[in-house]
Amino acid sequence: MKSKKEVNSSLLLISLIALSLLVLGADGCTMPGGRTGTSGKGIDFSLEGGVGNIVSGKTIQVGDEFYVKLNVLNYNEESKSVMICVRDNIAESFGGIPGEEGDCKTQTLTSAEVTQQSTGIKTTKTLQPSSNTFYFGPYTYIDIPLDTPAKLFVSARYIEQPKMTANVQVPIPETETLSLTQTPAVISAAITKTIHPKQNAYSADFSIKFSKQQNVKIFSSDFRTENISLFSITMPPLDVECVNAKGYFEIKNEKLISCSALAYLSTQEQVIYPLIIQLNYGVEDLSEFNFVIKTLPS
């Protein structure tokens, strides 16, 4: 006959197995890390070639018309408003792209196409980005006396509001790296959970590491302050307290935030809580391309 301790251990193991199945089926779908472009962003862009279109390394003849054609990919499940600006480093007296800020257009990108594939109780979500075209031009260079190396600058500005979710088990396991579902974004997260007994409760402590893509700038959502993101974290019905982030945080490359929640549980009770993190910030993505302006034959 099994001892009382062995029976309790068996019951706890059965409960954990059942809870694990619930975790897998809770959301109905998982998309670890999100599906992003080669740059890791929810929005990506590239120059499109063609007759008269400027691309990296191209030579443009003085007096010839040229265009800028961009293919902008949206990996988000929702439509996204984005402002694209193009400019060059040539003085306006020689023509080219006018204005100190360049030529700008705002357009709403269509949402990505979502497909789902079910395997047993688990459903995997895949995103096929939407393709959106921006045209600029025509432009012409004039009166440039010498062959001149030049640069084309392309910038994209848009708002990101990524959501990160995970299931948190209390009190077992005591330590784990949470499996996060994240929407595509330039800021991603990794979360480690540690459980500590605290009188008649359990303290769920979280170490949250946010990482920013290196090739973009982050601003507050009004684009007034650099390296700022709004931040909220919830784990209903529990209250979550963070020691170094009160509604927002500053991030240059990485940011480590410590948070905790207190759970009052009865003996041998195992509970799964939903953890939800929401960010809100502006993104400025700037790329530059080299080309050559060739003078007319003398």
Distance CA 286, CA 39 (A): 12
Closest CA to 289 of 90, 151, 156: 151
CATH topology of domain 161-283: Immunoglobulin-like (2.60.40)
- Residue 262 pLDDT exceeds 50: yes
Total-model pTM:
0.79
Q: CATH says 43-159+285-294 is which class?
A: mainly beta
- Residue 7 pLDDT exceeds 90: no
pLDDT digits (tens, 9 = 90+) for 168-196: 999 999 999 999 999 889 999 999 999 99
More confident residue, 25 or 163: 163
Range 119-137 average pLDDT = 87
More confident residue, 248 or 31: 248
CATH 2.60.40.10 segments of the chain: 43-159+285-294
- Residue 30 pLDDT exceeds 70: no
In this prediction, residue 1 has a pLDDT band, given cuts at 50, 70 and 90, of very low
- Residue 21 pLDDT exceeds 80: no
pLDDT digits (tens, 9 = 90+) for 212-222: 998 899 999 99
pLDDT digits (tens, 9 = 90+) for 38-62: 345 689 999 999 999 999 999 999 9
> E-assigned strands of 49-186?
59-61, 65-74, 80-88, 103-109, 113-119, 122-128, 130-140, 148-160, 163-170, 175-177, 181-182
- Residue 259 pLDDT exceeds 80: yes
